[in-house]
C-alpha cells in the first residue's frame, strides 16, 4: 500500500512538472488553423495573413485548413473538440460564436465553456446598401422608402450576421421587414446590383468595390465612427441609432483549457501583427477595424456580444428551443 501511495505521489509530481515543460516548449511542430469557410472569404484571408506572421514569429508553420459548412458550425465544433495542446487553433467570428449556438439545434458547443478565446483580430462593419434603382441615397430616403414599401434585404443566409443586423435595423427604425437569403454574399450582391432586390446588409469588406463603382448606394454603416477611407458614409450612431453600432468580428480561438502561457504567447504575437503599420493600413483598406484585447478582454467581449444578440435572434423567430 505504501509503495502504491508513493508511486501515485511521484507520478502526480512528474505530471505536474512535465505539463508546464511541454507548454514552455511550445511550439515544436506545425500548428493547424481551422477556418470556418472556403478559400477567398474574409475569414480565410485574415487567417492566412495572420498565419504567415505567426509562422515567422514562432519559426513553425501555421497551416490554414478550410472547413466550410453549416454556417461555420462544423469548423467550430472541430475546434472545440481538439486537444488543448496549442497545436489546433482557429478563426471564430460573430456568427459562429454569438449566433449559430443560439439558433441551430445541431450546434453542440458552448461558445464560452468549450472554447478559449485568445485574441481579437478585427471587425468588419456592416453597410446598409441600396440598389441605385430605388433612388435611395440617404438614411432619410431609406426610412421613407421602407415605411411605404417594406424593408426587403439580401444577405448570405438565414441566421448570418448580415441577416441579424438587418433585423436589428428593422427593429430600430420600426419598419416591416422581408429577408431574402442567398447561399453566398457574392450571389446576393449580384442581385442587388441588378436591381432585383432593393437593399442589403453586408460587410464593408464585401461591398466596397460596388460602393466605389457606384453600382450600390451606401446608406449608413454600423462602425462606431466614420471610416477614414469612406468619410462621406454616415454611421447609424450619428443618425440617432447608437444601438446599430457593431461589427462582424473575427477572433483567434482554441479549445477549452488551453494553457495560459500558450494563450498569452499567441495573444502577444497577434497583437504585434495587427499593430504593425502595414497590417493596420491593409486591414483598414479592406474595411476592418482593429482593436487589440487581452485574452480576458476578448472573453468578456464575447459574453457581452452573446447577450446583445439574443433578443434580436428571438424577435426574428430564430431562437432554438430552450433559448
pLDDT at residue 39 greater than cutoff 90: no
**In a 10 Å sphere around its CB, with 0-12 CB exposed, 13-18 middle and 19+ buried, how is residue 157 labelled?**
middle
pLDDT confidence of residue 243: 95
Residues 193 and 260 in one domain: no
The pLDDT of 231-243, averaged and rounded, is 96
Clarify whether residues 114 and 129 are in a common domain. no
Residue 143 lies in a domain: yes
CATH of the domain at 159: 3.40.190.10
Which pLDDT score is estimated for 71?
Answer: 85
Domain count, the chain: 2
Grid cell for residue 170:
428593422
Q: What pLDDT, on a 0 to 100 scale, did the predictor assign at position 20? A: 47
Stronger pLDDT, 20 or 137, i.e. the higher one = 137
Same domain, 159 and 262: no
| pLDDT at residue 282, rounded to an integer | 85
Question: At which of 244, 262, 290 does a domain end?
Answer: 244
SS3 250: strand
pLDDT tens digits for range 270-293: 999 999 998 888 888 888 999 899
- Measure CA of the first residue to CA of the last residue in the chain; give whole Å: 51
Q: What is the mean pLDDT of residues 204-211?
A: 90
Give the residue from 69, 117, 110 showing the smallest Cα distance to 91: 117
Residues 212 and 295 in one domain: no
**Residue 221 is assigned to a structural domain of this protein:** yes
- Residue 9 pLDDT > 80: no
Residues 111 and 252 in one domain: yes
Asked if 132 and 238 sit in the same domain, the reply is yes
- Helix (H) / strand (E) element for 120: namely strand 115-130
Residue 303 lies in a domain: yes
Q: Does residue 239 sit in the same domain as residue 147?
A: yes
Residues 291 and 289: their CA atoms lie apart, in Å, by: 7
Residues 110 and 256 in one domain: yes
Q: Is residue 76 part of a domain?
A: yes
Domain boundary among 218, 244, 270: 244
Contacts of 185 (CB under 8 A, 6+ apart): 155, 156, 162, 202, 203, 206
Q: What's the whole-number average pLDDT of the chain?
A: 90
Q: What phi, psi does 31 have (nearest 5°)?
A: -115, 135
Global pTM reads: 0.88
Domain boundary pick from 244, 267, 294: 244
Do residue 299 and residue 196 come from a single domain?
Answer: no
Residue 258 sits in a domain of what CATH number? 3.40.190.150
Range of the structural domain that residue 72 is part of: 28-121+248-315
Q: Do 129 and 234 sit in the same domain of this protein?
A: yes
Pair 107, 133 in one domain: no
Q: Which of 118, 122, 125, 124 is nearest to 62 (CA)?
A: 118
The region of weakest confidence among 68-72, 75-79, 95-99, 210-214 is 68-72
On whether both 216 and 262 belong to a single domain, the answer is: no
∠ CA 115-275-235, rounded to 5°? 80
In a domain, 2, yes or no: no
pLDDT of residue 3: 45
Amino acid at each position: 500500500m505504501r509503495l502504491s501511495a508513493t508511486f501515485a505521489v511521484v507520478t502526480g509530481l512528474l505530471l505536474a512538472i512535465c505539463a508546464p515543460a511541454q507548454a514552455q516548449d511550445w511550439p515544436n511542430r506545425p500548428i493547424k488553423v481551422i477556418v470556418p469557410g472556403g478559400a477567398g472569404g474574409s475569414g480565410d484571408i485574415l487567417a492566412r495573413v495572420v498565419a504567415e506572421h505567426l509562422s515567422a514569429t514562432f519559426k513553425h508553420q501555421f497551416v490554414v485548413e478550410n472547413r466550410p459548412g453549416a454556417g461555420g458550425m462544423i469548423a467550430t465544433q472541430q475546434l472545440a473538440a481538439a486537444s488543448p495542446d496549442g497545436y489546433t487553433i482557429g478563426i471564430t467570428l460573430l456568427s459562429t460564436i454569438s449566433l449559430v449556438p443560439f439558433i441551430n439545434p445541431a450546434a453542440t458547443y458552448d461558445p464560452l465553456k468549450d472554447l478559449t478565446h485568445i485574441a481579437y483580430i478585427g471587425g468588419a462593419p456592416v453597410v446598409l446598401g441600396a440598389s441605385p434603382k430605388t433612388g435611395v441615397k440617404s438614411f432619410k430616403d431609406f426610412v421613407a422608402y421602407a415605411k411605404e414599401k417594406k424593408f426587403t434585404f439580401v444577405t448570405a443566409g438565414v441566421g448570418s450576421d448580415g441577416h441579424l443586423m438587418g433585423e436589428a435595423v428593422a427593429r430600430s427604425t420600426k419598419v416591416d421587414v422581408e429577408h431574402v437569403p442567398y447561399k453566398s454574399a457574392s450571389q446576393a450582391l449580384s442581385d442587388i446590383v441588378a436591381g432585383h432586390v432593393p437593399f442589403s446588409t453586408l460587410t464593408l469588406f464585401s461591398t466596397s468595390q460596388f460602393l466605389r463603382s457606384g453600382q450600390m448606394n451606401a446608406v449608413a454603416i454600423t462602425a462606431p465612427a466614420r471610416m477614414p477611407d469612406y468619410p462621406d458614409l454616415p454611421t447609424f450612431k450619428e443618425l440617432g441609432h447608437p444601438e446599430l453600432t457593431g461589427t462582424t468580428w473575427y477572433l483567434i480561438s482554441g479549445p477549452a483549457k488551453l494553457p495560459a502561457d500558450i494563450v498569452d504567447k499567441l495573444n502577444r504575437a497577434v497583437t504585434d501583427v495587427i499593430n504593425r503599420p502595414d497590417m493596420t493600413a491593409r486591414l483598414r483598406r479592406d474595411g476592418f477595424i482593429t482593436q487589440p484585447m487581452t485574452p480576458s478582454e476578448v472573453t468578456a467581449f464575447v459574453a457581452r456580444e452573446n447577450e446583445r444578440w439574443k433578443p434580436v435572434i428571438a424577435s426574428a423567430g430564430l431562437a432554438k428551443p430552450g433559448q
